[in-house]
Amino acid sequence: MKRADILKYYGGLDDYRDYLSWAIFAAVILLGEADWRKFVFCKFLNCSQISFGPSFKGKYHFKTLIKYLNKKSSKRFKYFTISDPVKIGTDTHCISCITDSKSKSIFIFNPAIGPRGTSGPIEDPFFTNSEKVVQKFYREKGYNIIYYPVSCACQCTEDDVYCQSWSLISSLKGFPNILLGKIKPLKIPTKKELRFNYILKFWKSLLNDPNFCKELQFQYKVLRGSNGVINPKNPNEACELLKYSIAKDML
């Protein structure tokens, strides 16, 4: 099947992009969950030395975060995700963290932070309160606080709302360098269309896993149902929509 056939099937470009936006929304939600972040990490890398923690999001208290940070692990690395406590359904900002007990360092992957600590044209860096809590905790433990370097901030525009995916991708790409003790800046495209192509390629790399597609379709169906669509057109609609998408569909 070709892209032209898909566009025709969904009633044209505009309708296709409307359907696609729901599939992307489903992927965003899925990749914000701790279990799926672990799944993706271990799909591409050897994660035997990593202890995976929660995704701190939604309605929680910083005391819960600090309690987790105090937990000791038999493994060298700890991986967890943070965002500020908010009401469920409210926009937030996800950041990945990797601690290394050997080098006493914590590597922070904040997709809104660029090479000079700025997010695109924004003058002030976007730091979350949860980020400050984590920094304070590890600084008091004598850890080095390291923002993993990038050539360009992953999120440079307000319409890039993919912090869950960006923080996962950047930590996935950065971890092998952390393991080698050679921190190299991650190359992030400066043009928005190329950045969207980068993230789209990442999503598509997960579509060959039947469990991911099944869960993506379930999440997609729930989201469409909340919008009044009872049954999607086919049982693999979400994965099919992503498979044939291009970066321009996201602009």
pLDDT (tens place) for every residue of the chain, 251 residues total: 789 988 998 899 999 999 999 999 999 999 999 999 999 999 999 999 999 999 999 999 999 999 999 999 999 999 999 999 987 777 788 999 999 999 999 999 999 888 865 544 443 445 789 999 999 999 999 999 999 999 999 988 778 889 999 999 999 999 999 999 999 999 999 999 999 999 999 999 999 999 999 999 999 999 988 877 766 768 889 999 999 999 999 98
User: pLDDT tens-digit profile of 34-45?
Assistant: 999 999 999 999
pLDDT of residue 114: 86
| Contact yes or no for 56/12 (Cβ under 8 A) | no
Tokens of 149: 């370097």
d(CA 50, CA 196): 29
pLDDT of residue 125: 47
User: Which pairs with CB-CB distance under 8 Å and at least 24 residues apart come from 200-207?
Assistant: 200/242, 200/245, 200/246, 200/247, 200/250, 202/165, 202/169, 203/24, 203/27, 203/165, 203/242, 204/242, 204/243, 206/40, 206/43, 207/239, 207/242, 207/243
| Contact yes or no for 167/110 (Cβ under 8 A) | yes
Q: Which of 248, 238, 191 is nearest to 212 (CA)?
A: 238
pLDDT of residue 205: 97
Q: What are phi and psi of 105, to 5 degrees?
A: -135, 150
